[in-house]
Structure 1
Amino acid sequence: MIIGARLPHTGPQASGRAVVQAAIDLEAAGLESLWVSDHIAQPHVIESAYPFEADGVARWSTQHPDLEALVTLAMVASVTRDVRLGTAILLAPLRQPVLAAKQIATIASAAPGRVAIGIGAGWLAEEFAALGIPYERRGRRTEEWMTVVRQCWTGSAGPFDGEFYTLPGPIVALPAPDPMVPLYTGGHSPAALRRAGRCADGWVGQQSLDQLDPSALAGEIAVIRGAAAAADRDPAAIHVVLRLVGSAGAQRRTVAALPALAAAGVDEVILDTPREPASSGQEIAAYREAVA
């Protein structure tokens, strides 16, 4: 199992300098991947139902800095050498796909073979309204977004005439990532799980340490692999990533949970940022030993 962590690019102390230093420290401490999340325009008060809590309540404050995801990855790519870099999750429907493809390809040119992009359809209706993008049919929009982005990553895109996006003629779309950047999808709904198996290179799920349910996770992974098989794709090639929320300051419980997650089919775990990145080597070594 690959051990990664979410970068501290949101929160009261978030800054470009702080996140760059954290990336340097976490790579030196032995982490194998670093991830960013994505919100562009959060409301002062969230009224949409949060899908990762049983009661639907989002409990974080939106009154703090939230560094943009792709700019953050670009900064981190320039100061790291080997660690993998990813998004968990980039809100695809909120980003024009030709521009997003160019931005991601540029990051990948600074970190070839190290970038993976996890995308999702989103859940925060207020954010869609703020950006003037319809909330309805966002799942179908996400799939079409993937098609356009992958076409751009070949170096040339279009013509394309879809339901949501149109390219009237062929365009040059360089640089073309080499190797190709994998696209993972997120979400736990049946439609999202089937989408991951049908057209993604991997899946990014999320559970909290307090409500960890490896058996439910194994069932979701089975749905994904079944959808891959039905689409004549290799089910074993789907890379499964889990963001484990609530792991900061809970090293013993996290270490104890990792073997069950590996048994459920998780290939990579995204932990919370260690509280002291510069001195987290022993903590990270314990995580890696638990799944060795």
Structure 2
Amino acid sequence: MKVGVFATFMSPLATPQMIRDFGRRAEEAGLDSIWMGEHVALFDKNTYGYPGSKDGRIPVPPGGGMLDVTATFGFLAAATRKLRFGTGVALVPQRNPIYTAKEMCTLDWLSDGRLDFGIGVGWNKEEVEACGYRWEDRGARCDEFLEVMRRLWTEPVVDFSGKWVKFETMRLDPKPIQKPHIPIIVGGYADAAFRRAVQFGAGWYGFNLDVARTKEMLTKLDAAFAKAGRKREASYQIIITPPISMPMDAMQGYAELGVHRVVVNLGGQKPEQVDKRLPEIGSLVKRAA
């Protein structure tokens, strides 16, 4: 089982020097990957609360904001050699699928195949609508956009006629380094998310899940595979971010469930917090070996 870190970099703490040093230290500690969340904008009032916190708000430093995933991973790719980079998760239904396909295959190309494309439909209604899309049909739109991207990554010339996307004889190059394409890692806990994980995914990503909850979700994932007339293969990646309070001895429980990667939440990004937390996460590498 491999160990990574979830670190959504936020200004003003996440300076270029901080991010560069963090990537190099993570690589030196033997970590497998850095995963990063995505929101292009935040709102003072939301219809639905952020599911990752008790008060429903994303903990952002005063006067700060979340850095862009694509630019940050490109910066980190230039500062490291082995680390993988995972979007946790890219909000596909509010993105332009052609731009996204181009951005991700360029990242894969420039990082020499070190990208995992974690995807989800999102929770922030205001953000989806501000990006020019309807909230209610984001699931169906996600499926169509994923199909567009998958074809652009794998076919030399693509014709596509869908509900949201239409084009003829389109070429998108360079193709991703990874074959058949960048791994799509599907996040989410609804039945539709598990169906999407079976249809499009090379893996499934669960956030803030303890061992018991992970076991419950894997049962649902396997049921979705069975419904599709398939069985989950050993190579199908299971990636989990545990609760930040996860005890060290919980690693064995994840391993027994067949989890491939545990992506531990960094938490705060103040220098003293990083100095304390990063060695703790690094020590899990030996436990997981």
**TM-score surpassing 0.5?**
yes
Secondary structure of 2:238's match? Answer: strand
Structure 2 counterpart of 1:288, from 280, 285, 288: 285
Distance 1:59 1:281, change over 3 A: closer
| Structure 1 CA distance for aligned equivalents of residues 265 and 144 of structure 2 | 31
Structure 1 residue 283: Cα displacement: 2.8
| Structure 2 CA distance for aligned equivalents of residues 259 and 2 of structure 1 | 12
| Structure 2 CA distance for aligned equivalents of residues 159 and 243 of structure 1 | 38
Gaps of 5+ in 2: none
Q: What does 1:66-215 align with in structure 2 at a 5 Å threshold?
A: 66-167=66-167, 169-179=168-178, 180-207=181-208, 212=210, 214-215=211-212
Structure 1 residue 268: Cα displacement: 0.8
Structure 1 residue 233: Cα displacement: 4.5
| Structure 2 CA distance for aligned equivalents of residues 31 and 155 of structure 1 | 34
1:222-251 C-alpha deviation (Å, 9 max, x unpaired):
22233234435451232111122425xxxx
| Structure 2 CA distance for aligned equivalents of residues 232 and 58 of structure 1 | 40
| Structure 2 CA distance for aligned equivalents of residues 112 and 128 of structure 1 | 32
Secondary structure of 1:78's match? Answer: helix
1:205-226 C-alpha deviation (Å, 9 max, x unpaired):
1126xxx3x2232121122233
Distance 1:139 1:162, change over 3 A: same
Q: Do the aligned partners of 1:246 and 1:272 also contact (CA within 8 Å) in 2?
A: yes
Pair 1:246 & 2:239 matched: no
Tell me the equivalent position of 2:248. 255
| Structure 1 CA distance for aligned equivalents of residues 21 and 177 of structure 2 | 27
| Structure 1 CA distance for aligned equivalents of residues 230 and 173 of structure 2 | 28
Tell me the equivalent position of 2:228. 231
Pair 1:28 & 2:13 matched: no
Tell me the equivalent position of 1:250. none
Gaps of 5+ in 1: 248-252
Distance 1:280 1:123, change over 3 A: closer
Distance 1:73 1:245, change over 3 A: farther
| Structure 2 CA distance for aligned equivalents of residues 291 and 123 of structure 1 | 32
Moved segments of 4+, more than 4 Å? 274-282
| Structure 2 CA distance for aligned equivalents of residues 281 and 118 of structure 1 | 23
| Structure 2 CA distance for aligned equivalents of residues 238 and 268 of structure 1 | 11
Pair 1:57 & 2:64 matched: no
TM-score, with length taken from structure 1: 0.87
Q: Do the aligned partners of 2:5 and 2:281 also contact (CA within 8 Å) in 1?
A: no
Pair 1:219 & 2:212 matched: no
| Structure 2 CA distance for aligned equivalents of residues 276 and 32 of structure 1 | 21
Distance 1:288 1:227, change over 3 A: same
Q: Do the aligned partners of 2:89 and 2:118 also contact (CA within 8 Å) in 1?
A: yes
Distance 1:45 1:16, change over 3 A: farther
Secondary structure of 1:65's match? Answer: coil
Distance 1:233 1:11, change over 3 A: farther
Secondary structure of 2:88's match? Answer: strand
Aligned pair count reads 281
Q: Do the aligned partners of 2:266 and 2:277 also contact (CA within 8 Å) in 1?
A: no
Structure 1 residue 157: Cα displacement: 4.5
| Structure 2 CA distance for aligned equivalents of residues 149 and 76 of structure 1 | 24
**Identity fraction in percent:** 27
Equivalent AA in structure 2 for residue 28 of structure 1: E
| Structure 1 CA distance for aligned equivalents of residues 186 and 215 of structure 2 | 17
Distance 1:109 1:45, change over 3 A: same
Distance 1:221 1:27, change over 3 A: same
| Structure 2 CA distance for aligned equivalents of residues 67 and 242 of structure 1 | 22
Structure 1 residue 103: Cα displacement: 0.7
Mean Cα displacement is larger for which, 271-280 or 141-150? 271-280
Structure 1 residue 189: Cα displacement: 1.3
Structure 1 residue 284: Cα displacement: 3.8
1:20-50 C-alpha deviation (Å, 9 max, x unpaired):
2211111112111111110011112334133
